[in-house]
Amino acid sequence: MDQKTDDRTLSPGLEGVLAGETAIAKVDGLNGKLTYRGYPIGDLVRHGTYAQVADLLWTGEWAPSADLPCAPLTDGVIKSLRALPPGTNAMDALRGAVSAWGAAERPTWPPTPEQARALTAIAPSSLAAFVRIQRGDEPIDPDPSLPLSAGFLYQLNGKRPDAASARALDAYFIVAAEHGFNASTFTARVITSTQSDLASALCGAIGALKGPLHGGAPSEVVSQLHEIGSPERAEKWINDALDRGDRLMGFGHRVYRAYDPRAAALREVAEGMAGTAEWLKLAVAVEDVALRVLKERHPERPLQTNVEFYTAAVLQGVGLPPAIFPATFALARHAGWTAHCIEQGQANRLIRPDVRYVGPAERALPA
């Protein structure tokens, strides 16, 4: 079609374009609601576990007895992690571990819940092993009696986490597990649509999540809160930042026009963590001031708290270093990514959008 007569609607970033159908989750940005298979995210956080939620995403059924411990790593994955140079980005390490797992396991197409469980279970072991190797420690074998989130903390620190920290991280894993056709999930579905394997799809998803516009905000929230330092400094710091044209991290969302329901669920969890009282006090004070200032400056734009804001409070509270916040996000998202790969494989059609050509008209090579 000639570009001058091509009147098809262009949507940069595919915003508002329906690219598929899903029964996995509904993101209602206008009303600030998120449901997994019809269940509200707040109810899942209060009454469920990550293992139950992951199984729900994979199968569509609620299984109260669902269990998902971390899995031991193959020699190939361990060798790939040991070969990484000092200072390697944790997302690169996780992507490499998934690739090494796929090379050894050779998962077939279409993806299955069994493949999803296996890959989701090795991801925390991989990230924990990477962190320990980078700081000169030996990896720790997983404890099969611990659920995935607690098992990750155990392999990371060498001791069983306290109940509050384990519960808080499990709650974070639940709220971060799935969120519709975001960039990384769509990437995974595109790769799956080519009939490539599950490991390849997740390598692509991890690569997409590595980008700071998608997965990097929680660590920046930590830096922002540290810079503010105290509730008394919040208003001046926020106004100065907005005057400079800086982005206020943890506020505003591409989809939500109301308060992010994941942030509400995580704030509730954070408030129950005794060890983060001062940190949470600062976060709540900054949130209150930020929402007021943003409303005063931009009454036409509904800028609300997003999930990254209280993600920072929870991950800081359980003792994770900010450098691995994005990779921890990726661990949680494994359940949703793999669920979408399974769904894509069940009714597959190669994803291949069109593009409008806007370059030079046909012409002859210069003499």
Please give the positions annotated as active site.
253, 308
Q: Are 188 and 330 in contact (CB under 8 A)?
A: no
**337, two tokens:** 């990514």
Query: Secondary structure of 112-151 in the HEC alphabet?
Result: CHHHHHHHHHHHHHHHHHHHHHHCCCCCCCCCCCCCHHHH
Closest CA to 150 of 137, 162, 141, 132: 162
Contacts of 193 (CB under 8 A, 6+ apart): 344, 348, 349, 350, 351
**What's the rounded Cα separation, in Å, for the pair 93 and 116?**
19
What is the distance in angstroms between the CA of the first residue and the CA of the last residue of the chain? 29
| C-alpha distances out from residue 248 to 23, 128, 225, 279, 293, Å | 33, 31, 11, 18, 11
Strands 33-36 and 39-40: antiparallel
Element (H, E) at 27: strand 25-28
Residue with tokens 């503010």: 228
